[in-house]
Amino acid sequence: MSGCATQGDLDAVQRDSNSLTKEFLGLQRNIYDLNAEVKAVSAKLDSLDKRTGNLQRDLSVLSSEAKTKVGLLEKEMESSSQPMRRYQADLGARLDKLQLDVQNLSGRFEESKYFAEKTFGATKNYQTRLEELEKRVAALSKSGEGLEKKPETPVAPSVEKAGEEKPPVVVPVAPEATKETPAKKPEVAKKPPAAGPDEAYKKAYELYSKGKIDDAQKEFKRFLEAYPKSKYVENSHFWLGECYLSQKKYEDAILEFDEVIKKFPKGNKVPDALYRQGMAFLEMKDTTNAKLILKEVVRRFPQSDQANRARKKLQEIG
């Protein structure tokens, strides 16, 4: 008689079984909810894909229209008897407007692409959570079946309590410079600096400080070619970008500042490089990308002087 299960033991087993059944049903409801969320996110992704396709088509049509209008303007200039200067001015104004339209459309496309990638990352996290819940449900189902098959045996249930599940972490994509800049690389001077890296960098920086921008630009380029592993490489890329800004070579400046950001992500010149990159986009009348870069300065370096200047500039842009 001592080996048989008492009524109290059977009641305890029954209570544990009921508890497991309730937890199992709750987990099933969570799975249904997650499935609904996944479907909703998938629908949003489909919608974003359609919007992205529409934007790409719009961009293609706009580029085609720009080429057609440029061709028509060239024909008008060839057949017209009016002064060339007037038509050149008119052509420049119309081309600037078309370029601005293309840039705005490109910015919208890049923003949609970034949001789509971010949403896709969230979907993958939801899928991971769903798979984990399914595994837990399977484990609980096996535990419940074991208890139902052997009710006559006294059991001292020891169900491990699952820890709270952490929500998925979606890491935002750093808004790289969202506008594709032409892959134009200036020619690098072949003549190496005569002095060592310290003297060469000092010479280039002194030229920049004295306002001899063209000479400073050449010296910084020579320095980077001769000493690619020097401790002054980060600063040299930055000051070379400043030289290009002074020369109004904004695309080259953006590329040099991007070298600082990519190659030295923890360097002390990154906040300045990001801010100055945004200013270069502003000089190119590309307010879409300028805003994205300035917001990135505020997000990554909220307490810096560059962030304060970026906030003021964003207010001016509107």
Q: Which domains does the chain have, with CATH numbers?
A: 7-149 (1.10.287.1490), 197-317 (1.25.40.10)
Pairwise CA distance, residues 271 & 263, whole Å: 14
Please, are residues 214 and 244 in contact by the beta-carbon 8 Å criterion? no
User: pLDDT tens-digit profile of 263-272?
Assistant: 999 999 999 9
User: pLDDT tens-digit profile of 39-72?
Assistant: 888 888 888 888 888 888 888 888 888 888 888 8
Pairwise CA distance, residues 122 & 134, whole Å: 19
Pairwise CA distance, residues 230 & 192, whole Å: 14
Tokens at residue 226, please?
């001769």
Pairwise CA distance, residues 10 & 12, whole Å: 5
The Cα-based distances of 135 to 28, 128, 292 in angstroms read 12, 11, 42
Pairwise CA distance, residues 187 & 52, whole Å: 37
44: Cα separation from own chain's centroid: 19
Pairwise CA distance, residues 107 & 117, whole Å: 15
User: pLDDT tens-digit profile of 141-195?
Assistant: 666 555 444 444 333 333 333 333 333 333 333 333 333 444 444 444 445 545 6
6-20, 128-142, 161-175, 217-231: the lowest-pLDDT one: 161-175
